[in-house]
Structures are given as structure tokens and as C-alpha cells.
Structure 1
Amino acid sequence: MGDFDDLLNANADFASDFDLAGFDGVARAGVAMVTCMDSRIDPLGMIGLKPGDAKILRNPGGRVTDQALVALVLGVHLLGVERILVVEHTRCAMASKPEHELHEALTQSAGLDASWMTLGAITDQQQTIRHDLHRVRSHPLIGDRAKVGGFVYDVDSGLLAPVQE
């Protein structure tokens, strides 16, 4: 376990004043966010929330995938979600190159052909967010049960900019 000792030590410190024991998992602030896995993003901090307040779904590019939709449906019906944010961000690797260039870079790094994978390159963030908002709003198990908004997070200023529909 030597490779993880620093993380396990940090976890022990974290657990020493852990205050979510017994929490039921309901989103206390009624919020869910779909955002990118980029390490420059602090999903809770950027909207003034703390652990226990929101459901956070992360993937490359912050896309509303089929699995993200499943999580949002569960959140809306079983976990107190009333507002859903779809948040992409500036300087995103998934929006920096077309799909074929991402495949080439991955193939080169892995030493194996990666062209069979769908990576989800984003060619137009505003349009992609609008598309994902439509996916959420038009889902028969979400519909008007939750408010849905799209945003672009600026990784250099920390500000969210609403996407105009």
C-alpha cells in the first residue's frame, strides 16, 4: 500500500472530524451538477455549497451521458434534486481538438489503437450544452420536475457564465 500512504494518511485526518455520519444522501440544497473531471474545478466551492448539499456527476467534458441521465432521474425522484446545472469549462481538453486528433494522441500515449473508443470531443461548447440541456428537459422522468441551467465555468477567473438558449 506504499503507493497510497499519503492519501490514506490524509483520509485519516479527514475522518478525525467527519460530520456526515448517518446522513441519508439527499441533496440538502436540492442541487445536482454535471461537470467535467478537470482537476481545476471545485464543483461545490464554485456555487457556495459543501459536502452533502449536491449530487456531483463528473466525466470528460461534463457531458450529459446516458449514465448521467440515470443519475439525474434518481436524484430528482429519490434524492431531493430540484435544480440541475450542466457545467462545461474554458480550456477543456475535450474541446481543444477534434475527435480524430484526440484518438491519435491517445493511441500514441497508449501504444495501442484507440480509434474504436468514442471520446466525445466537443466542437462547440455552447451548442453542446444546449443539446445536453434538451436531453435533460425532454427526459420523460425529469421534464419540468427540476429547473435546468447550462453554464461555462472560466478556469482562470472562477466565474460561471450562463449559456443563452
Structure 2
Amino acid sequence: MDSASFEDLLAHNRDFAASFDLQGFDGVARAGVAMVTCMDSRLDPLGMIGLVPGDAKILRNPGGRVTERALVALVLATHLLGVERVLVVQHTRCAMASKSEDELIAALGASAGMDASWLDLGAIDDQRQALTADVHRVSSHPLIGDRVKVGGFLYDVDSGLLDQVA
């Protein structure tokens, strides 16, 4: 194990822990919010909607899609963790929406130096259509249904603004 590779992060963690104030917190989403969004490092899911740690459940994956595992998390969140509103948030200039599946597979294969054609990366052809489908996927789930309000949003990585599209 190469612990030196992580020393800078561990030092920052010690600083973080020195003022940590969520001890004993029960894990309920204090603001009643869950967000499914992309793993892109330009996104600050809590900050973009004025929340702080403890307020929301954040689920991240490439492209910000409502996958099977994301649905499981949303079912748990709505029944056991106080979630009443779900935001599905994709963003502008997303690699998953700016290249085709074949282009992404080719780039990945070139980087890895091996065939990656067996992967299903989930490229997004039309973000607005994908957001509409994902909102429907959440709102029509038999264990979620109309228990929560669900919206689909496109986040502009250049302005920081959310646009509700579904």
C-alpha cells in the first residue's frame, strides 16, 4: 500500500474532522431532498441548491442517470430517510451527452489499451428526453409513485443556473 499517495488528503481530513459537527446525526435528509446527478467534478450538488451536508441524499454516476441502483436508493430515501423531493440533474458539456456510445468506447479502449466494447457506458443522445424518461422512471416506480415531487433539471456549468426541463 502506498500511503504517501493519500497523505495530502488525509491531512485535509484531519483538518475537516477538527471542526466536524455531524456526530450523532441520524442520516435523515433534513431538507427532505434527494438529487441524482453526474459525477462531474464541476458540480457542487449541495451548493447549487443552497443546502449543506445533512440536508440531502446525493446519488452520483456518469451522466446523472436514474439507474436501477439509484432507484433502490430513492426507494429507501423516500420511505426511511425523509426524502419528499427528488431532483434529477444533468449538466451542459457532459462527456456522456457530447459523444456517442461508440466514441466513448473507442476513447476508453484507447486509454486502457484494450477492448472496452463489452461495456455499456450509457451515452445520452438527448438530455431533455433522458431527463423526462428518468423523472417518469422515479414517479412511476411502485414504491415511490406520488409520495414525492420529482423534477428534471439541466445545470449550466458555465453560469451555475438550473433549468427545469421535466
TM-score between the two structures when normalised by the length of structure 1: 0.99
State the alpha-carbon separation in 1 of the partners of residues 52 and 85 from structure 2. 16
Q: Which runs of 5+ in 2 are unaligned?
A: none
For 1:51, the aligned partner's letter is P
1:106-141, Cα deviation, whole Å (9 max, x unpaired): 000001110000000001000000000110011000
Residue 116 of structure 1 corresponds to 118
Report matched runs for 1:9-88 at 5 Å. Answer: 9-88=11-90
SS in 2 for 1:61: coil
Residue 147 of structure 2 corresponds to 145
Q: Which runs of 5+ in 1 are unaligned?
A: none
State the alpha-carbon separation in 2 of the partners of residues 120 and 63 from structure 1. 9
Q: How many residues align?
A: 164
TM-score between the two structures when normalised by the length of structure 2: 0.98
1:27-64, Cα deviation, whole Å (9 max, x unpaired): 00000000000000000000000000000000000000
State the alpha-carbon separation in 1 of the partners of residues 66 and 81 from structure 2. 18
State the alpha-carbon separation in 2 of the partners of residues 75 and 136 from structure 1. 12
For 2:36, the aligned partner's letter is V
For 1:19, the aligned partner's letter is D
- CA RMSD across the alignment: 0.5
SS in 1 for 2:63: helix
For 1:162, the aligned partner's letter is Q
For 1:92, the aligned partner's letter is C
State, as a whole percentage, how many aligned pairs show the same letter. 76
4+ aligned runs moved over 4 Å, structure 1: none
SS in 1 for 2:43: coil
State the alpha-carbon separation in 1 of the partners of residues 91 and 56 from structure 2. 19
Residue 105 of structure 2 corresponds to 103
SS in 2 for 1:62: coil
For 2:100, the aligned partner's letter is P
Aligned match of 1:126 in 121, 125, 128? Answer: 128
Please report how far the alpha carbon of residue 2 of structure 1 lies from its aligned counterpart in structure 2 after TM superposition.
0.4
